[in-house]
Amino acid sequence: MTDIRGLLTDDDAVSPVIGVILMVAVTVVLSAAIGAFVLDIGNAVTEQQPNAVIEFEFDIASGGGTDDAVILRHNGGDELATSTLRVTVDGAIAWEDGSSVGGFTTGAGTDWNDGVTSGDELRIEEDTANIKESSSVQLVWQEGQRSSIIASTDS
């Protein structure tokens, strides 16, 4: 018969097994910490895109002409850095980094120069490009390799 008392009191093999398990656990934790530091995973998770409420208003003149416009108004949320913003109208870049681009001009009353805070407006007028009420207008945020559509007339 087996000596049960001997099995319960014999703990020769317990210490090496616990030691190996602890060494594996320490190795896994250190590997994850070093990997996160080297790959800079922590910053990518904590840095988020800005969140803002943008209102779009079309100012379409009767009879055509080149005085049609779209007005973007910041109605709340995070402050937006002008250098990270781009506005597109029907896929064409209309405004980027504080100035109009292509066949568009910036209208009077525009205060999206340094930073964009609540109440600030951007008026984009057509020069040679065409703005109409059915135009798809997007405000795009881009910083480095990351970009996102903050607001759109399609949504």
Q: What is the mean pLDDT of the chain?
A: 82
Report the alpha-carbon distance of residue 133 to residue 122 in Å, rounded.
17
Residue-wise pLDDT tens digits, 92-114? 898 888 888 888 888 777 778 77
Other C-beta atoms lying within 10 Å of the C-beta of residue 98: 14
pLDDT at position 28 over 80: yes
Report the alpha-carbon distance of residue 143 to residue 68 in Å, rounded.
30
**CB within 8 Å of 21: residues ≥ 6 apart:** none
Residue 77, classed as helix, strand or coil, is strand
pLDDT at position 149 over 80: yes
CB 54 within 8 Å of CB 75: yes
* pTM of model > 0.85: no
Residue 47, classed as helix, strand or coil, is coil
Radius of gyration of the chain, Cα coordinates, nearest whole angstrom: 30
**What is the DSSP pairing of strand 85-89 with strand 137-143?**
antiparallel
Q: Which two tokens stand for residue 100?
A: 């109009």
